[in-house]
Amino acid sequence: MKSYNEMTTEELMALKEQLTSEYEDVKAKGLSLDMSRGKPAATQLDLAMDMLDVLTSSSILKSENGTDCRNYGVLDGIPEAKELMGAMMDAPADQVIIYGNSSLNIMYDTISRSMTHGVMGSTPWMKLPEVKWLCPVPGYDRHFAICEHFGIEMINVPMTEDGPDMDLVEKLVSEDDAIKGIWCVPMYSNPQGITYSDETVRRFANLKPAASDFRIFWDNAYCIHHLYFDEKAVLLDILKECEKAGNPDMVYKFGSTSKVSFPGSGIAALASSKANLEYIKKQLTLQTIGHDKINQLRHVRYFKNYDGLMEHMKKQADIMRPKFEAVLDVLDKELGGLGIGSWIAPKGGYFISFDALPGCAKAIVAKAKEAGVVMTGAGATYPYKKDPSDSNIRIAPTFPTPEDLAVAAEIFVLSVKLVSIDKLLESR
Amino acid sequence: MKSYNEMTTEELMALKEQLTSEYEDVKAKGLSLDMSRGKPAATQLDLAMDMLDVLTSSSILKSENGTDCRNYGVLDGIPEAKELMGAMMDAPADQVIIYGNSSLNIMYDTISRSMTHGVMGSTPWMKLPEVKWLCPVPGYDRHFAICEHFGIEMINVPMTEDGPDMDLVEKLVSEDDAIKGIWCVPMYSNPQGITYSDETVRRFANLKPAASDFRIFWDNAYCIHHLYFDEKAVLLDILKECEKAGNPDMVYKFGSTSKVSFPGSGIAALASSKANLEYIKKQLTLQTIGHDKINQLRHVRYFKNYDGLMEHMKKQADIMRPKFEAVLDVLDKELGGLGIGSWIAPKGGYFISFDALPGCAKAIVAKAKEAGVVMTGAGATYPYKKDPSDSNIRIAPTFPTPEDLAVAAEIFVLSVKLVSIDKLLESR
């Protein structure tokens, strides 16, 4: 395959004509396909339906320590739920708080509390002249939206294949005490599917931040979301590494079963040092009497333990893997060697990250949309929705059916080709 | 019955000796009874167990508009849940947001958001030199704790039999733009069981607050928690009254099914003007992708509609009523005419409010505890836990069994008598 860059203008013009005709044909079909959000498909949700049968009117709804899960009480979760989520999140049960249905909500609340009350006695961030945050890019749009909402200045940190650029992270956090946090999706990162190397995790644990209230926001959303169970990524336990490094309070781990059981009806948790948890519980006890213990019990009785979770996730992977492979096949076949885009084949998580020629992402997403394929908005993977090189596009292959996905991927690559040709011609 | 005040010192001394002996006898039993929190009894929770059978692995988990309740999405609740909660909370379905499991959490979040972002464009409260709040007293300790957490200065407003002293409320809110809100439990108030009169509600709706971001926090926690369904209290709809008065945005209504289905596993909601809801949703969409729609569906399919809720609450009342009456009987029989305490017989809600002789509440609660009966801490019904006359005690009769309750009430009145005698003797 000849790269587009090597083609003559005439060749590109001819190709454009042919591709435009193909594009108009699919556009005429009036399709409506969605590769925009990391949503499980209905077939994945079907896998957890038996969870609805584990608690019935004849069940005894008591936790293992005798608590009546139907009544008020238990701020931080029933013991067996802490055990289960701790196993999933690589944390001892006594360093876990079980929350409601959303880890995003925990992250939001954690920042909100820091804004109004600081962190373990530090000055409330709202009282500081400025608060800054490190954002590995490309990253998760909902993380960035929280910072933007609170007026926190976001600083881009490039991702490498081992995780964020740690030279830059170390330099920035040690120099500027206005930097109070960093977003991390350390395993099968959103959107690139990168898992942080052991060295990256150790360097995180050994940071020497200028701000005593600097915290690593470790959003391990995809910790058991492997696509290939025989070549699972392995992530070092940052909580333990932070302890070893003498920085026990520097990290908050977030996790949930949103993409394990039912999104919106799962359970979410925070794992951290006991000192952090004690501080957090002082506020949490004012915010709520407790979270949904019946749903905690339902999850534990259904999944039982870590092995149960893994068995379940293997079934999910069997559904997801062919979808990822279908998209990657189309990318390989249609774009391989053309020099108009690059991507990483992820081993887990929910996304494929695609980098187009600089200046092309917005136009590609618009082009795909015109032909009926909704992608995540270009720029969404960057703070303030501003991708400086207008290049990154997040592909979410899980929600559509395999048939729809094949069509959507074809439309996507067609859009990439057409926009890239225009861009190349423009610069000649 | 001779009032204690009319007794001679000798009579009081003799009585004290006799009561002390009775007290030592019960104390020797080493009881452990709890009348401290407004928790439903297990028998009340048993009434809702069939709710666990309405959704099973063979259910279709779609809302009436076709949404798959198992997946992400729907920020403000499924339509049928809005309908159900709207009916309960006296609000049109399109003026309702369904949240998670806790109305307390909604109230906390509402204040937290106002601290960091203000209200519909007003200055964030954290940026103001001071924020004040009106607190009808006696009131709910968890309300006060939220204000205290955020450093909001609380101002006591006495309750009357028609609700808060509205002369004072009107005066204060019109004069001071630092006053941003007022806590109200308008029906079967916590702890007195008072329902606001129509005039009180209208005067609330017609307030002319100096602060444009003043809001009435209408925590209608006991809106369907009648003890006597043939003589139910009726509360005017403040949302409608505010509209009529040209103050459509001045009130937030809060409610939940915590004491209807299962505390901690119910659904909670906010009802307000559309303008308020639009503003709130802009923040909510950053905080979460959505709340637990499966639990929303479970509630709707179980209760079906307002009539279903009422049928259920009648069964709860049948369990609760004898408990309230048992305590009230003991109070009447043992304290009637003695001039050492007053109380209101509530027609709904979760509490009986008892007013001891000034300066006696703390000592009575301590005395009861010594004999094995835990009451809500004296002072808890006031901001900063400071009851200026050390008089009010909240009695929560729902959680203990009827047998335990009879014993606990006897210990309570014994404690009241002993402490009151000491107080009277002291002043002679």
pLDDT value of position B273: 98
Q: How far is A246 from chain B (nearest CA, A)?
A: 31
pLDDT value of position B323: 96
- Is the pLDDT confidence value at B177 over 80? yes
Percent residues over pLDDT 70 in chain B? 100
Query: Could B72 and A37 be called an inter-chain contact, meaning their C-beta atoms sit closer than 8 Å?
Result: yes
Average pLDDT for B32-54:
95
Each residue's pLDDT tens digit, B368-401: 999 999 999 999 999 999 999 999 999 999 999 9
Average pLDDT for A54-67:
98
- Is the pLDDT confidence value at B1 over 80? no
Each residue's pLDDT tens digit, A361-414: 999 999 999 999 999 999 999 999 999 999 999 999 999 998 899 999 999 999
pLDDT value of position A402: 87
Query: Could A292 and B149 be called an inter-chain contact, meaning their C-beta atoms sit closer than 8 Å?
Result: no
| Banded pLDDT at A108 (limits 50, 70, 90) | very high
Q: Mutate which of A105, A257, A258, A298 to test chain B, going by most B C-beta atoms within 10 A?
A: A105
Which chain A residue has its CA at the smallest distance from B38's CA? A72
- Distance, in Å, from the CA atom of B239 to the CA atom of A405, rounded to the nearest integer, reads 48
Of A48, A57, A116, the CB nearest to B150: A116
Upstream peptide bond of B263 is cis (omega within 30 degrees of 0): no
Q: What is the 3-state secondary structure (H, E, C) of chain A?
A: CCCHHHCCHHHHHHHHHHHHHHHHHHHHCCCCEEECCCCCCHHHHHCCHHHHHCCCCCCCCECCCCCECCCCCCCCCCHHHHHHHHHHHCCCHHHEEECCCCHHHHHHHHHHHHHHHCCCCCCCHHHCCCCEEEEEECCCHHHHHHHHHCCCEEEEEEEECCEECHHHHHHHHHHCCCEEEEEECCCCCCCCCCCCCHHHHHHHHCCCCCCCCCEEEEECCCCCCECCHHHCCCCCCHHHHHHHCCCCCCEEEEEECCCCCCCCCCCEEEECCHHHHHHHHHHHHHHCCCCCHHHHHHHHHHHCCHHHHHHHHHHHHHHHHHHHHHHHHHHHHHHCCCCCEEECCCCECCCEEEEECCCCHHHHHHHHHHCCEEECCCCCCCHHHCCCCCCEEEECCCCCCHHHHHHHHHHHHHHHHHHHHHHHHHCC
| Banded pLDDT at B424 (limits 50, 70, 90) | very high
Query: Could B286 and A72 be called an inter-chain contact, meaning their C-beta atoms sit closer than 8 Å?
Result: no
- Is the pLDDT confidence value at B253 over 80? yes
pLDDT value of position A218: 98
Chain A hits for B75, CB-CB cut-off 8 Å, are none
Q: How far is B1 from chain A (nearest CA, A)?
A: 41
Of B74, B105, B265, the CB nearest to A287: B105
Q: Is B404 exposed, middle or buried (0-12, 13-18, 19+ CB in 10 A)?
A: middle
Query: Could A70 and B262 be called an inter-chain contact, meaning their C-beta atoms sit closer than 8 Å?
Result: yes
- Is the pLDDT confidence value at A123 over 90? yes
Query: Could B52 and A55 be called an inter-chain contact, meaning their C-beta atoms sit closer than 8 Å?
Result: yes
Which chain B residue has its CA at the smallest distance from A56's CA? B52
- Is the pLDDT confidence value at B122 over 90? yes
- Is the pLDDT confidence value at B302 over 80? yes
Query: Could B72 and A263 be called an inter-chain contact, meaning their C-beta atoms sit closer than 8 Å?
Result: yes
Query: Could A102 and B289 be called an inter-chain contact, meaning their C-beta atoms sit closer than 8 Å?
Result: yes
Contact of A177 with A210, CB cutoff 8 Å: yes
Q: How far is B334 from chain A (nearest CA, A)?
A: 32
- Is the pLDDT confidence value at A1 over 80? no
| Banded pLDDT at A73 (limits 50, 70, 90) | very high
pLDDT value of position B402: 87
Percent residues over pLDDT 90 in chain A? 98
Q: Strand, coil or helix: what is B227?
A: coil
Q: How far is B52 from chain A (nearest CA, A)?
A: 5
Average pLDDT for B75-91:
98
Q: How far is A386 from chain B (nearest CA, A)?
A: 18
Each residue's pLDDT tens digit, A159-216: 999 999 999 999 999 999 999 999 999 999 999 999 999 999 999 999 999 999 999 9
Which chain B residue has its CA at the smallest distance from A55's CA? B52
Q: How far is B177 from chain A (nearest CA, A)?
A: 21
Mean pLDDT, chain B, whole residue set: 97
Average pLDDT for B86-101:
98
Indicate whether this complex's ipTM tops 0.90.
yes
Query: Could B288 and A105 be called an inter-chain contact, meaning their C-beta atoms sit closer than 8 Å?
Result: yes
pLDDT value of position B428: 86
Each residue's pLDDT tens digit, A130-144: 999 999 999 999 999
Q: Give residues with Cβ within 8 angstroms of A422, minimum separation 6.
A: A16, A363
